[in-house]
Structure 1
């Protein structure tokens, strides 16, 4: 697919209709209840506060029992839905490049003692130094980023992190599968620029780049300001005997005395940050030691992962008169001035994923249900992804139903919340594959005077060794 073909506008209504039919086909058990639950999620007025209130929406024609039955006992073909998401039109940069962001968002469940597979999730407080570790379910999201200032992303995958998981190994497998699905869908072909994957400081970006070196991708991530990297060793003088040094001079982020002249420097005048100066140093690598992920490598076979380090310093931030520099690590080398500007501007687009998290939590109510089983939480999470995808596809079709005190939105600049506000007008024109509910009567329920003598099992929170995982848990996750 050429770049000119990608720029041709598609039939937005046709894309939305095809996705709705394909999404219904992915619901293999209790599909009618799950599909209408997603429609109620899209057409409800205001933010979703509780799960049961969605059964009162006109788009949901069943009772609240069917709603909980669908979430708890329904089935979803996740593999097919992932392939469908990869085949949808995705945003690209001006040169036709795909930019993917990877980040973790937490579904906090501090009081759910009977919910298994919880982890301690890092959460930020309002004041400095008030971060806490709260039990919950962390989910890793992968989304395609749009160029320019926007609050939209194209979500492609989500995976829940379990207590026995290695986060970097799970993220590597997740990104690898997403890229492979994009290749199979024709989103990337030979001759296209590599896919740029952007991560934040919580990831070991050097290990990610090493594990994904066989794919047409570039890794870009933020590093902490206390890191120390090394230049390549100097050439061995002629006639000198002895062991050749493994590394060259140190490059300490906190010590400007160790910084040589940068290979590339760019200065850009921005609207919100003032003067932005970016300096890049080429062929720097971290010091790897035989522990943790590198414990299985012999000492003389530890890889040397060379890269480009970029120091970004802006003039001012909103509410901060002395902003600290940002250190970026790029898996490529020999960066030009155009590469440096493209990379640091692409990293700033990573924060658009935070708008998506805020949308699905505060408006769509991703973390509102008090579900007990992780499988039900995964099923509900995929319903949220499908609902958000329908909002993205309906973006050029929705009207701006603004309130009297809101400013009019420019053409094509509707936010996800405003698109959801007008989705009910589109809902009646889109395909409705769900069948009508059958008439039924309520069950007898628990006999009068009987008590529930089954005591729910309480589960510990935190990391668990692989030896503690039963075969049943592994089989249930694979299914």
Structure 2
């Protein structure tokens, strides 16, 4: 913290030690751990400075959760900070929201943030947050995500979290990302990309060996593999069956060396040289039932690794289910820590507040073995290693009282006179029009798969 460090430090302490969820930003000035006034609080958010590069390195150097085989598993997702009424806030873009109404996909203005977190094993609501980047209007989401993942992996290697000979870092993506393209851009790193694909995709098999004496250009693609047509699947390379508690019997089928048929459009328009053939393994996961009781639909996954064994297939689809733990972190950020509570105007102030949230969450993760469970009378006792982030935060004040604070004591002062009563504001804030543009820079259209009676066929 290079400017307004004391105010920012005590603001983070106030978020950690506040009783209950954060309902307002100015309310944190009433927390005993925040010894300054509300003016210093807003001054720290609006005019403070954080060295985010140093924070990234510091967070990457902390202990990370790993899988049973010692593998680091990273989840990437976008969470929006919705600001529909903030006409004076710049750099807003339309954010995709789902679930705000029955079967509704709404586009709401706001600041979308791409977040990278390391996943734990087992059923848990903990993740280890490593990075957050605000997506600017018109940004190429795949390119930004690739640069973000590259930076995280390089910092983990520099911090000694990954050494030569360790299992490759597994990066898990949801259906909104182009997993083959990201895998191609990260081919020089020790990463394995696992992403969800839509059920209307069409991939291609490897080209058959060229017969001797055949003229013409050799084919790049073999027969089609249509996700919605079982007649095109053929025999699978691996098949596993697992009994689960929530989903009943989970059946996973895998087909090897399938790739998308790329064309020179969209992200591949300016690609130099011939278009690559990005081969991977396709996994189809089918379960008996859902916890909500709905009709289970198959989940299609694409992994950049080929020649996978049955153990690799099970590891991939089980890791993909763990990806949803990052949703618990987003819920903690928004409902408990108050990430989207402040009505900030400057997007750079929103970035500072976002990184304060990452610092707060990292401190909660480091305080897990030190916290005493202060459970409510109606809550069940939990082992120390099973405490949720909210229950660790509940006991953080007892830890805070035993440690020193680098923040200096506040100096007594008096507020300025402010603008005289009745005088108009001579410098109104400029207003910024969001426009019908997505974070990808494309004009918004209702997706084809949202229109009834249509079944698109995606080959790219």
TM-score band (shorter)? over 0.9
Corresponding residue for 1:216? 190
Matched, 1:384 2:357: yes
C-alpha separation between the residues in 1 aligned to 2:384 and 2:439? 53
SS in structure 2 of the partner of residue 162 of structure 1: coil
C-alpha separation between the residues in 2 aligned to 1:320 and 1:256? 25
Segment of structure 1 superposing worse, 229-238 or 272-281: 229-238
By how many angstroms is 1:128 displaced? Answer: 4.0
Matched, 1:431 2:393: no
C-alpha separation between the residues in 1 aligned to 2:419 and 2:271? 60
Q: 1:345 aligns with which of 315, 318, 330?
A: 318
Segment of structure 1 superposing worse, 287-296 or 233-242: 233-242
SS in structure 1 of the partner of residue 368 of structure 2: coil
Distance 1:196 1:466, change over 3 A: closer
Corresponding residue for 1:325? 298
Segment of structure 1 superposing worse, 456-465 or 376-385: 456-465
Matched, 1:460 2:433: yes
C-alpha separation between the residues in 2 aligned to 1:351 and 1:357? 10
C-alpha separation between the residues in 1 aligned to 2:307 and 2:439? 42
Matched, 1:302 2:267: no
Matched, 1:40 2:14: yes
C-alpha separation between the residues in 2 aligned to 1:119 and 1:206? 26
C-alpha separation between the residues in 2 aligned to 1:209 and 1:408? 43
**1:405-450 CA distance string (max 9 Å, x none):** 1111133100000000000000011231001001111211112332
Q: 2:124 aligns with which of 146, 150, 165?
A: 150
The 5 A counterparts of 1:3-402 are: 27-297=1-271, 301-402=274-375
Corresponding residue for 2:422? 449
The answer to whether the Cα contact below 8 Å between 2:137 and 2:440 also exists between their aligned partners in 1 is no
Segment of structure 1 superposing worse, 427-436 or 65-74: 427-436
C-alpha separation between the residues in 2 aligned to 1:265 and 1:286? 22
Corresponding residue for 2:379? 406
**1:343-371 CA distance string (max 9 Å, x none):** 00010110000000000100000000000
SS in structure 2 of the partner of residue 190 of structure 1: coil
Segment of structure 1 superposing worse, 173-182 or 236-245: 236-245
SS in structure 2 of the partner of residue 231 of structure 1: strand
By how many angstroms is 1:127 displaced? Answer: 4.3
Corresponding residue for 1:5? none
C-alpha separation between the residues in 2 aligned to 1:117 and 1:465? 10
**1:147-185 CA distance string (max 9 Å, x none):** 111000000000000013111111111110110000000
Gaps of 5+ in 2: 442-460
Superposition RMSD in Å: 1.5
C-alpha separation between the residues in 1 aligned to 2:366 and 2:173? 26
By how many angstroms is 1:338 displaced? Answer: 0.7
The answer to whether the Cα contact below 8 Å between 2:93 and 2:438 also exists between their aligned partners in 1 is no
The alignment of Structure 1 onto Structure 2 pairs a total of residues equal to 440
SS in structure 2 of the partner of residue 174 of structure 1: helix
Gaps of 5+ in 1: 1-26, 468-479
SS in structure 1 of the partner of residue 384 of structure 2: coil
Bigger helix share: 1
Segment of structure 1 superposing worse, 289-298 or 205-214: 289-298
By how many angstroms is 1:465 displaced? Answer: 11
Segment of structure 1 superposing worse, 121-130 or 166-175: 121-130
SS in structure 2 of the partner of residue 75 of structure 1: coil
C-alpha separation between the residues in 1 aligned to 2:307 and 2:21? 48
By how many angstroms is 1:145 displaced? Answer: 0.4
C-alpha separation between the residues in 2 aligned to 1:103 and 1:465? 14
